[in-house]
Amino acid sequence: SYVLTQPPSVSVAPGKTARITCGGNNIASKSVHWYQQKPGQAPLLVMYYDSDRPSGIPERFSGSNSGNTATLTISRVEAGDEADYYCQVWDSTSDDRYVLFGGGTKLTVL
């Protein structure tokens, strides 16, 4: 079965750039979506179809997907960006189609 691999944690200083990766076999062939989750809150969609931003999400958030790695990039990181981030794909390559989440990455703003 398909597996999405995320680093457990990423740390970045305020004002710097954070890159959160999501690894999967030929993940570039799939659409990757990203969610931000702050403590005690439901997940919030921050990126869909690899690099599309929902309305209300700052332009500081961007996404890319190539080869075996998808990346969520957060520029000019702010304290309010501290959260868990999850990547997600729809695996439709088999008859048993399903949703898959990565294990999540905790972003710490130093």
Contact between 102 and another protein by CB under 8 A: the answer reads yes
Min. distance of Cβ 16 from another protein in angstroms? 26
Question: Is residue 43 within 8 Å of 35, Cβ to Cβ?
Answer: yes
Q: What share of the chain is helix, strand, coil (3-state, %, to 5)?
A: 5, 45, 45
Contact between 63 and another protein by CB under 8 A: the answer reads no
Rg over CA atoms, the chain? 13
Q: How many residues of this chain bind another protein (CB under 8 A)?
A: 24
The binder of another protein chosen from 26, 54, 78, 93 (CB under 8 A): 54
Neighbouring C-beta atoms of residue 54, cutoff 10 Å: 11
Residue closest to 68 by CA, chosen among 32, 27, 101, 110: 27
Contact between 100 and another protein by CB under 8 A: the answer reads yes
Nearer to another protein among residue 35 and residue 61 (C-beta): 35
| Binding interface with another protein (CB under 8 A) | 1, 31, 33, 35, 37, 42-45, 48-49, 54, 86, 88, 90, 96-104
